[in-house]
Amino acid sequence: MAWLHDEGLSEDATCPLCNQELETIDHLLQCPFSRSLWFDALSIFGWGFWTPSPLATLKCWWTDFLSIRGPARKKASSVVLLILREIWLERNCLIFRNIDRPRHIILDGIRLEVARWKEVGLLRD
Ligand SMILES: [Zn+2]
């Protein structure tokens, strides 16, 4: 993340997922790689239309996303956290292990996490 660079803890603040922009908190939504993953992951739940726009900020987008009413709201919160976690893990996989996983493997991992989160009650239908 850019703050690691600012603190002198990292030499490069460029997003490792797209190699195009500075890695900021909002870039988690704006990154072309991440946006594509958001679409695919949200589509698992029939929520592909919630894919962040290229100009979305995390705070505004998440607030809008959580405007969902009823029981789906809690599910939406869990889904956002799960996808953010998977993007973070993919980023770390690239940086620390230099492994660039194929997209279908990442999505399979997300589906597996969805099943695990459901099993332990972190995610409900
Ligand atoms: Zn990026």
Tell me: the pLDDT tens digits for 63-81? 888 888 888 888 888 898 9
Q: pLDDT per residue over 92-124, tens digit each? A: 999 899 998 898 999 999 999 999 989 998 888
CA dist., res. 61 & res. 84, Å (int): 13
Q: Which domain holds residue 83?
A: 25-119
CA of 124 to the centre of ligand 1 (A): 30
Q: pLDDT per residue over 26-59, tens digit each? A: 998 999 999 999 999 999 999 999 999 999 999 9
pTM (predicted TM-score): 0.83
Average pLDDT over residues 10-28: 88
pLDDT of residue 53: 92
C-alpha distance from residue 47 to each of 11, 31, 125 (Å): 37, 19, 13
Between helices 72-97 and 103-119, what is the axis angle to 10°?
Answer: 130
Total number of domains constituting the chain: 1
Is there a domain that residue 125 lies in? no
Is there a domain that residue 8 lies in? no
Is there a domain that residue 6 lies in? no
Is there a domain that residue 3 lies in? no
Is there a domain that residue 110 lies in? yes
Retrieve residue 112's tokens: 């597996």
CA of 105 to the centre of ligand 1 (A): 19
